[in-house]
Amino acid sequence: MTQHHRHVLAIDIALSTGWAHSNGQYGAWCLVSMATRFATIRQKIHQAAESFGLDLIAYEQADMGSPSMRQKADHNRTLGVVLLCAQELGVDTVGYHPTTIKCWFTGDGRADKAQMVRACRTHLGIELTLAEHDVADALAILHMALQGVEPPQKKPRKQKAHATAKPRRLF
């Protein structure tokens, strides 16, 4: 993400997907219906690109935050649609882990929804309700992307030394 992006769409994927654009507009998209979720988010992203311009989609990588396997799978499928849209539109993407977003925006990687909403008021002068916590997350993601914050690189895992095992007989 070394180049400067002017038209950024930030997305916090959830049933109420918070979004924020670098032109100052923000809100939430209702993605409650599984039957229409993918078509809806695709349509909203394409509308944002057409209406506001778009050269970067920034998003929260929350796929590992939920203890529910179903929620993780739903998030990953929805993220797949977001990444497909980016490819269709020819725009860059950047994803941030939730703790990175929270730490950057509030100073606490374990910040709760209320802290994120307060940080919007404190840092951006934007008043949100607690019900708009997904919008608060999207605004944080947007400002990280606009400032060129790079996601931390994963450290390579150390390879475990495996002893050469003798083949086992199965029967």
Interval 71-126: pLDDT, tens: 888 889 999 999 999 999 999 999 999 999 999 999 999 999 999 999 999 999 99
Q: What pTM does this model have? A: 0.85
CATH class of 8-146: alpha beta
Task: Give me the residue spans of the domains in the chain.
Answer: 8-146
Average pLDDT estimate for 119-138? 97
Q: Which residues pair with 11 in a beta bridge?
A: 19, 59
In percent, the amount of the chain with pLDDT more than 70 equals 85
What pLDDT, on the 0 to 100 scale, is given for residue 1?
46
